[in-house]
Structure 1
């Protein structure tokens, strides 16, 4: 079997090629992480826009509903002075619970490029094994 010229390169040349390929790989992985993060942020922004749009209608509907319930409890004998405060307190309590539950669901970790990070860790492990 004949050995080609490229197979006869010395160790320094092979090591140089290895580091060049690793450098290129890391640059590509960083680019991929940026793209993945950008995509995740764009998805989040689109979702937030839908939530804000929905909230506009929810606020309008709740305003009418709260007014109707206020009139209803006045009809059943609650003082017209206290009825709006009772309804507002109930609405604020429910709103606070919902905000706290939603806040716990929004974590910055979900925006991190998890696929790319995992792939980069695998690449580093593979590179370490190749160098040994």
Structure 2
């Protein structure tokens, strides 16, 4: 057996091992990405529930403005228009807070599979080091 054929065989084995490692890493990263996306989907469901809650609170604010809150403040001497602003403004601030939280949780950045992206980048860096060095 010549030294050259042994080197070719070693290079071929090395290439096959690298290819196998890359495929194994890609499979693991794909599995991690699926898990992370599922987790992010669950977070999106919660965010949508918060958004729905914000809408319900906005509707409650209209009812409160028309009924109990205004009436209660008017009975203690607050002018009706000021009472309406106080009660409605308070409930509206709560609804805006829920909506802001929901929109933040639904942003593309928060739903991206960030751990997978970091892992893939790290794996690429390791492979570059092994191939180059």
Q: Could you list the runs of 5+ residues in structure 1 that have no partner in the other structure?
A: 1-7
User: Equivalent residues in 2 for 1:14-29 (5 A)?
Assistant: 14-29=14-29
Structure 2 length as normaliser, TM-score? 0.62
After superposition, the CA RMSD in angstroms is 3.7
Cα separation, 2, equivalents of 1:110 and 1:94: 24
Structure 1 length as normaliser, TM-score? 0.62
SS at match of 2:23: helix
Higher relative contact order (CA 8 A, sep 6+): 1
Per the TM alignment, residue 78 of structure 1 is displaced from its structure 2 partner at its CA by 7.7
Cα separation, 2, equivalents of 1:78 and 1:30: 62
Distance change (3 Å), C-alpha of 1:98 and 1:119: same
Task: Figure out how many residues of one structure are paired with residues of the other and give that number.
Answer: 123
Looking at secondary structure, tell me which structure has more helix per residue: 2
Cα separation, 1, equivalents of 2:92 and 2:58: 15
Per the TM alignment, residue 23 of structure 1 is displaced from its structure 2 partner at its CA by 2.2
